[in-house]
Amino acid sequence: PTLSRLLSECPEVKSAAVSFLAPRKHIPAHRGPFRGIMRFHLGLVIPKQADGRPATIMMINHEERRIADGECMLWDDTFEHEVMNNADQPRIALLLDVWRPEMPLDMEILSRLIVRGVQVGMRYRGVSFAG
């Protein structure tokens, strides 16, 4: 309830999910569908390697990124990205899809229409979504 209330006060947040990545799992390289939305990633529970560095590795556009508990990152998820949890514990993160800031008005309108169309399609198929 607290997270839902906080997010309801942030109109730029389009969707939210708490993401659990099991130990030793890998999400293969993929890309987001369009540039109207950016991905915000907040580390909630990030396992550590023996050397103290975060054990979860994100490859974004072929560059290695690691965030620790409480650290965050905002990126364009239309760039190829993948994530690997190299630990024996799960990785937990908050993922937010946020409207890209400072878009030209025509692109903002188009982006909102695309998202609305996807939402209508999901409702029609009985798929739930955040937002």
Cβ burial of 5 (10 Å; 0-12, 13-18, 19+) is: exposed
Domain-located, residue 114: no
Is the residue at 122 inside a domain? Answer: no
Task: State the residue range of the domain holding 90.
Answer: 2-101
Domain contains 124: no
Work out how many domains the chain is built from and give that number.
1
Q: Among residues 36, 49, 119, 125, which one has the least CA distance to residue 84?
A: 49
- pLDDT tens-digit readout, 71-93: 999 999 899 999 999 999 999 99
Q: Which two tokens stand for residue 116?
A: 């609305």
Answer yes or no: are the C-beta atoms of 55 and 115 closer than 8 Å: no
Would the CA dihedral through 8, 34, 20, 40 be positive or negative?
A: negative
Q: What is the rounded distance in angstroms from the CA atom of residue 49 to the CA atom of residue 74?
A: 24
- The pTM (predicted TM-score) of the whole model is 0.77
Residue 112 in any domain: the answer is no
Residue 16's domain is classified under what CATH number? 2.60.120.330
- Asked if the structure places residue 11 within a domain, the reply is yes
- Please report which confidence band the pLDDT of residue 131 belongs to, taking 50, 70 and 90 as the band edges: very low
Q: Is residue 110 part of a domain?
A: no
